[in-house]
């Protein structure tokens, strides 16, 4: 049992993520969802349970958190680790080993279990989570979803009574989310206490027993799943929460009659390290089209997007812009990609400087106008790294607008975004589309696709499986591509 | 597909022996035999290509060295001799280090070092370093893409054209990512009990096997042979 | 119960992980800087200069992030082990080990917070790389002997002495100090302009 008694916490020099006077009891075996806007304090709450606060993150704490009657603040981290397992958001920075087997065993190795038991436990974990085919692999060669499974398995192997998951689905595709859901059901059936902090809610609706809504550091809602589902969507939107049922989502924009094509690919084939990844790609796209690029991991979405931007050179066939063949260099000049981890593409020391970074004769009024249109003007003198995830994305998009790029690509833009940021991003994409840009969005997020896209490009088996306009007739097919319904 | 698995302690000892061998090597021939021996080790560890490439490249370097000695004169010769001297010293050990690093698992290394009573304060940073090297490569690929999209060329020429900007573009994202990774990786390790004072165990069994002793005997014998050769010759 | 929590003394797991990550970056930058010189016979002696040129920002950010004793020493030990294991000359390994400890002590004078003293400590650790070359200059015959077998040619040693090896040594040392200083300067600027504003360091 976890008990919070009058707990308040604040980080030094930051108002975000503080907690105010929390009183909460989570009985054994309960599965709890923590939701709320970014910075509402849900991550902070998990950190108080796994001991990261106060032992890792310092700040001002009052009150006490009890784990089976013991005060957590008095326990050393490694003792807490035996009882509370934690899985985090970013699969790339969670592993300590290079090979999967050792990583799964990492926690129990630290507990100094005897060798035979280590082997037995790893085997048992692999069987129970159905990840035998991931054993004996190099972690660097795994996809994000597979890495996340290994992270989960590593904690699972330690058999903690409590499992904490902090935005575990952020970097996962649809099928990986389905498997995460299965794994959550499994640990729940084993009687473990499960606490999930998450923005994507739909996959948790038939798993959790209780939903806590946090707002500015206080718990302002404590719902059963039934009560939570009964909230109407308008109410949910004002709470800043994402959809609870994907089936109810419907596209907001239907495909307009075909605009004159500006981009054309003729019989393009792409290879990566001399192996063909995609072949026989022919498509046309017009100004203002917003195209979702979907497909499972390894289907070639990344190679495709890098080719569109001229970053990938192993490309055969014709790439035309306004009817003229384009060399990679020219493509690069014309296009911009907002990367999944946008941190890699922010270089300057302030938001204002970022907008004009690398441009020889920057158009300052345009930069200013763009910043204020995207709601970034108040942060002009802040460092880009101090912005939230959504703001960073908008900043990256702003730089592309200042450079006058005509083809834009977003790679998994909704990972880790809360509802408000997602809505803002959707609005931004509408605006860009209105400006006549050709936009591609690599995404798994059906809710987001419904809010932005007019066309779906589905890769599979080394080629384009489907190229569908978003229309009433195509809707069932689109839903099946996204595994919805 | 039964490949040789050596104990990490053996591997460390082999490296020590190899350094000594390279240091006391009486002639080029001995150096070459040493490299060939390491090539053999690579083959039994299942690294065919690595062995082949390593030995072949070294053979070329040896030929080049002999040619240099015979043909060149004067300052050029001095320079080349000094340079090749360095290269010959480094080559064998570098090749062995490559095998050791690519065949040793992080956990295996940590446990073996704990057995040798190495302090955790040293082994944890080394383990993390080895694990982080491939991440730097991944990061660099992302950063290169990001630079190109912003019309900054990630090459030497680009650096010469706009040094300050290129430096910024490389260091800022790389160090920001490193700093973030440091926090997240430490969180992921302390929440899995890395601070546990008990001596950690290991999934891979750490035990000196016959093959370990055999490898040690081989390399020691070679070192002895070198020393005898030196004294006699 | 109201407690203002303070940072634990001594190196915690978090600090060790950070040292590991920054050591990896340090190593990569040192190699990248060095590799430009190493395979070129004329320039090989200036490898420490190249290595010193690139690592400053990494070093200074590491110190800014973990302001604790032993951090630089651990970096020194790691570099020592890596150079030794990859078969670099033992003196280079030893040089980094010794200079790592010295640099740690020097940085400690400013409690690891003073950027100027940290820069000085960076220059010191960079000098660790020159050790193997110093040994070479101290005893060129020995080097040549192992190189050419027992039949060292007198002419080789003569040329070595006549080509002004002293100058090479002086250039190497002064160059390393200068390169390290420039690198540290860039690092300091970057800390101030970027990382402090970004909230990565205090």
Q: What pLDDT does residue C142 have?
A: 60
User: What residues in A contact B107, CB-CB < 8 Å?
Assistant: 97, 102, 105-106, 109
CA distances from B89 to B17, C46, C107 (A): 13, 18, 34
Q: Phi/psi at B73 (nearest 5 deg)?
A: -140, 170
Q: What pLDDT does residue B94 have?
A: 87
- Contact A60/C194, CB-based, under 8 Å? no
User: What residues in C contact A62, CB-CB < 8 Å?
Assistant: 1-3
Q: Are C46 and C37 in contact (CB under 8 A)?
A: yes
User: What residues in B contact A98, CB-CB < 8 Å?
Assistant: 105-106, 130-131, 134
Percent of the residues in chain C that have a pLDDT greater than 70, as a whole number? 76
User: What residues in C contact A385, CB-CB < 8 Å?
Assistant: 198-200
Interchain CB contact of B64 with C (< 8 Å)? no
For B34, what's the count of Cα atoms within 13 Å in the CB-facing half-sphere?
35
Residue A125 pLDDT > 70: yes
Q: Are A210 and A33 in contact (CB under 8 A)?
A: yes
Per-residue confidence band for B29, with pLDDT thresholds at 50, 70 and 90 = confident
pTM: 0.91
- Contact B149/A332, CB-based, under 8 Å? yes
* CA-based nearest distance C99→chain B, Å: 17
pLDDT, greater one: A356 or B74: A356
A55-69, A209-223, B155-169: range with lowest mean pLDDT: B155-169
- CB contacts < 8 Å between A and B, how many? 178
- Contact A112/B199, CB-based, under 8 Å? yes
Q: What pLDDT does residue C3 have?
A: 37
User: What residues in B contact C146, CB-CB < 8 Å?
Assistant: 23-25, 85
User: What residues in C contact A380, CB-CB < 8 Å?
Assistant: none
As a three-state string, the secondary structure of C6-31 is CCCCCCCHHHHHHHHHHHHHHHHHHH
CA distances from A123 to A95, A129, A133, B106, C50 (A): 19, 10, 12, 20, 49
Per-residue confidence band for A199, with pLDDT thresholds at 50, 70 and 90 = very high
Q: What pLDDT does residue A278 have?
A: 92
- Using N-to-C axis directions, what is the helix angle for C165-190 and B163-190, rounded to 10°? 70
User: What residues in B contact C143, CB-CB < 8 Å?
Assistant: 82, 85
Q: Phi/psi at B164 (nearest 5 deg)?
A: -60, -45
Model pLDDT for residues A334-355, shown as the tens digit of each residue: 999 999 999 999 999 999 999 9
Residue A110 pLDDT > 50: yes
DSSP state of C193: I
- Contact C14/B80, CB-based, under 8 Å? no
Alpha-helix runs per DSSP H in A41-99: 42-49, 52-55, 77-83
Interchain CB contact of A8 with C (< 8 Å)? no
Model pLDDT for residues B48-61, shown as the tens digit of each residue: 899 999 999 999 99
ipTM: 0.92
Q: How far, in Å, CA of A151 to CA of A90, rounded?
A: 10
Residue A256 pLDDT > 80: no
Q: How far, in Å, CA of B179 to CA of C65, rounded?
A: 8
- Contact A62/C200, CB-based, under 8 Å? no
What dihedral do alpha carbons A227, A231, A235, A239 form, nearest 10°? 40
- Contact A56/C5, CB-based, under 8 Å? no
- Nearest residue on chain A to C14, alpha-carbon basis: A56
The chain C residues in contact with chain A (CB within 8 A) are 1-8, 13-14, 193-194, 197-200
- Contact C198/A383, CB-based, under 8 Å? yes
Q: What pLDDT does residue C150 have?
A: 40
User: What residues in A contact B181, CB-CB < 8 Å?
Assistant: 92-93
Q: What pLDDT does residue C54 have?
A: 93
Residue B232 pLDDT > 90: no
- What is the mean pLDDT of the segment spanning A252-256? 80
Peptide bond into A54 cis (omega under 30): yes
- Contact C199/A383, CB-based, under 8 Å? yes
- What is the mean pLDDT of the segment spanning A422-449? 94
Q: What pLDDT does residue B128 have?
A: 94
Interchain CB contact of A62 with C (< 8 Å)? yes
Q: What pLDDT does residue A452 have?
A: 94
* CA-based nearest distance B3→chain C, Å: 23
Model pLDDT for residues A296-314, shown as the tens digit of each residue: 888 889 999 999 999 998 8
List, as ranges, residues 176-205 from B with C-beta within 8 Å of C.
Answer: 176, 178-179, 181-183, 185-186, 189-190, 194-195
Residue B132 pLDDT > 90: yes
- Contact A56/B187, CB-based, under 8 Å? yes
Give Cα A432 to chain centroid, integer Å. 22
List, as ranges, residues 336-395 from A with C-beta within 8 Å of B.
Answer: 336-337, 339, 341, 343-348, 357-359, 385
Q: Are A86 and A155 in contact (CB under 8 A)?
A: yes
Model pLDDT for residues A279-299, shown as the tens digit of each residue: 999 999 999 999 999 988 888
- Contact C3/A383, CB-based, under 8 Å? no
Model pLDDT for residues B192-227, shown as the tens digit of each residue: 999 998 888 889 888 888 999 999 999 999 999 989
**DSSP calls for B148-176:** HHTT---SHHHHHHSHHHHHHHHHHHHHH
Burial class (CB in 10 A: 0-12, 13-18, 19+), A267: exposed
A228-242, A361-375, C85-99: range with lowest mean pLDDT: C85-99
User: What residues in C contact A61, CB-CB < 8 Å?
Assistant: 3, 5
Of residues B168, B188, B194, nearest to A88 (C-beta) = B188
Interchain CB contact of A122 with B (< 8 Å)? yes
Mean pLDDT of chain A: 92
Residue to test with chain B: of C26, C61, C87, C198, most B Cβ within 10 A: C87
- Contact B189/C190, CB-based, under 8 Å? no
User: What residues in B contact C81, CB-CB < 8 Å?
Assistant: 126
CA distances from A416 to A167, A183, A389, A484 (A): 7, 20, 8, 20
User: What residues in A contact B131, CB-CB < 8 Å?
Assistant: 95-98
* CA-based nearest distance A63→chain C, Å: 7
Q: By three-state DSSP, how is residue A213 classified?
A: strand
Q: What pLDDT does residue C152 have?
A: 45
Model pLDDT for residues B137-180, shown as the tens digit of each residue: 999 999 999 999 988 888 888 888 888 889 999 999 999 999 99
CA distances from B99 to A348, B30, B68 (A): 41, 20, 30
* CA-based nearest distance C46→chain A, Å: 31
Percent of the residues in chain A that have a pLDDT greater than 70, as a whole number? 99
| Nearest partner of A401 among A441, A359, A443, A360, judged by Cα | A359
Of residues C21, C57, C74, nearest to B181 (C-beta) = C21
- Contact C199/A386, CB-based, under 8 Å? yes
Of residues C44, C57, C160, nearest to B171 (C-beta) = C57
For chain C, residues with pLDDT lower than 50 are 1-7, 147, 149-152
Q: What pLDDT does residue B105 have?
A: 87
User: What residues in B contact C148, CB-CB < 8 Å?
Assistant: 69, 81
List, as ranges, residues 401-430 from A with C-beta within 8 Å of B.
Answer: 403
Q: Which chains touch A (3 or more CB pairs under 8 A)?
A: B, C
Tokens of residue A84, six digits: 């509370």
Of residues B108, B146, B192, nearest to A110 (C-beta) = B192
């Amino acid at each position: 049992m976890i008990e919070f008694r009058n707990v308040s916490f604040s980080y030094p020099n930051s108002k975000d993520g503080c907690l105010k006077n929390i009183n909460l009891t989570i009985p054994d075996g309960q599965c709890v969802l923590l939701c709320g806007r970014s910075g509402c304090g849900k991550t902070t709450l998990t950190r108080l349970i796994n001991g990261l606060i106060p032992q890792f993150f310092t700040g001002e704490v009052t009150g006490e958190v009890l784990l089976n009657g013991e005060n957590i603040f008095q326990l050393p981290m490694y003792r807490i680790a035996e009882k509370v397992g934690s899985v985090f958001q970013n699969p790339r920075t969670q592993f300590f080993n290079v090979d999967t087997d050792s990583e799964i065993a990492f926690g129990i190795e630290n507990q100094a279990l005897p060798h035979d038991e280590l082997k037995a436990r790893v085997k048992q974990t692999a069987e129970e989570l159905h990840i035998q085919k991931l054993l004996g692999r190099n972690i660097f060669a795994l996809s994000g979803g597979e890495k996340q499974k290994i992270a989960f398995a590593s904690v699972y192997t330690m058999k903690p009574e409590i499992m904490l998951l902090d935005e575990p689905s952020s970097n996962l595709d649809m099928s990986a989310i389905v498997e995460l859901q299965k794994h959550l059901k499994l640990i729940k059936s084993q009687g473990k206490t499960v606490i999930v902090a998450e923005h994507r809610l739909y996959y948790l609706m038939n798993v959790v027993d209780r939903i806590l809504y946090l707002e500015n550091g206080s718990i302002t809602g404590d719902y059963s799943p039934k009560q939570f589902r009964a909230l109407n969507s308008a109410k949910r939107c004002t709470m800043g929460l994402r959809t609870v049922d994907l089936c109810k989502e419907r596209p907001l924009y239907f495909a307009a009659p075909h605009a004159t094509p500006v981009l054309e690919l003729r019989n393009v084939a792409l290879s990566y390290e001399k192996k063909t990844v995609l072949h026989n790609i022919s498509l046309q796209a017009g100004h203002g089209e917003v195209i979702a690029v979907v497909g499972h991991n390894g289907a070639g979405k990344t190679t495709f997007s890098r080719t569109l931007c001229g970053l990938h050179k192993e490309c055969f066939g014709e790439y035309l812009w306004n009817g003229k063949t384009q060399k990679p260099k020219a493509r690069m000049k014309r296009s911009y990609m907002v990367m999944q981890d946008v941190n890699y593409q922010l270089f300057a020391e302030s938001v204002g400087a970022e907008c004009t970074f690398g441009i020889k004769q920057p158009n300052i009024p345009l930069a200013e106008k763009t910043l204020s249109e995207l709601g970034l003007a108040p942060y002009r003198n802040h460092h880009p790294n101090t912005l939230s995830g959504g703001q960073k994305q908008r900043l990256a998009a702003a730089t592309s607008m200042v450079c006058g790029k005509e083809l834009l690509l977003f790679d998994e833009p909704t990972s880790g975004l809360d509802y408000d940021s997602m809505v803002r991003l959707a609005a931004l994409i509408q605006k860009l589309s209105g400006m006549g840009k050709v936009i591609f969005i690599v995404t798994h997020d059906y809710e987001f696709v419904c809010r932005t896209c007019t066309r779906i490009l589905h890769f599979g088996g080394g080629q384009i499986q489907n190229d569908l306009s978003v229309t009433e007739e195509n809707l069932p097919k689109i839903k099946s591509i996204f595994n919805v319904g | 597909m039964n490949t040789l698995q050596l104990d990490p302690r053996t591997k460390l000892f082999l490296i020590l022996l190899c350094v000594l061998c390279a240091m006391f090597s009486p002639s080029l021939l001995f150096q070459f035999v040493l490299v060939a021996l390491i090539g053999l080790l690579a083959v039994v560890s299942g690294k065919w290509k690595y062995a082949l490439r390593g030995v072949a490249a070294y053979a070329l370097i040896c030929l080049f060295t002999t040619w240099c000695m015979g043909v060149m004169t004067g300052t050029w010769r001095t320079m080349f001799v000094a340079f090749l001297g360095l290269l010959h010293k480094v080559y064998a050990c570098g090749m062995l280090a490559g095998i050791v690093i690519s065949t040793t698992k992080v956990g295996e290394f940590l446990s073996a070092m704990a057995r040798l009573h190495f302090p955790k304060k040293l082994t944890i940073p080394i383990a993390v370093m080895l694990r982080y090297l491939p991440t730097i490569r991944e990061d660099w690929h992302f950063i290169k893409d990001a630079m190109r999209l912003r019309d900054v060329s990630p090459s030497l020429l680009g650096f010469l054209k706009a040094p300050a900007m290129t430096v910024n573009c490389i260091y800022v994202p790389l160090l920001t990512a490193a700093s973030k990774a440091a926090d997240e990786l430490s969180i992921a390790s302390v929440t899995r009990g890395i601070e546990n004072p008990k001596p950690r165990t290991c999934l891979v069994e750490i035990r000196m096997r016959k093959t370990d002793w055999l490898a040690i005997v081989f390399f020691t014998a070679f070192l002895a042979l070198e020393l005898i050769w030196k004294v006699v010759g | 119960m109201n407690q203002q929590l303070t940072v634990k003394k001594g190196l915690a797991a978090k600090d060790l992980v950070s040292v590991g990550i920054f050591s990896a970056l340090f190593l990569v930058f040192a190699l990248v800087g060095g590799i430009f010189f190493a395979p070129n016979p004329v320039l090989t002696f200036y490898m420490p200069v190249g290595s010193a040129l690139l690592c400053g920002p990494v070093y200074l950010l590491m110190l800014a992030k973990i302001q604790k004793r032993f951090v630089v020493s651990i970096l020194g030990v790691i570099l020592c082990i890596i150079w030794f294991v990859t078969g670099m000359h033992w003196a280079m390994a030893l040089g980094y080990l010794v200079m790592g400890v010295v640099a740690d002590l020097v940085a400690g004078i400013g409690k690891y917070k003073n950027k100027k003293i940290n820069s000085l400590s960076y220059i010191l650790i960079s000098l660790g790389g020159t050790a193997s070359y110093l040994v070479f200059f101290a005893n060129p015959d020995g080097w040549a002997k192992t190189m050419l077998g027992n039949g060292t040619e007198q002419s080789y040693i003569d040329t070595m002495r006549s080509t002004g090896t002293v100058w090479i040594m002086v250039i190497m040392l002064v160059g390393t100090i200068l390169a390290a200083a420039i690198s540290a300067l860039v690092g300091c600027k970057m800390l101030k302009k970027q990382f402090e504003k970004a909230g990565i360091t205090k």
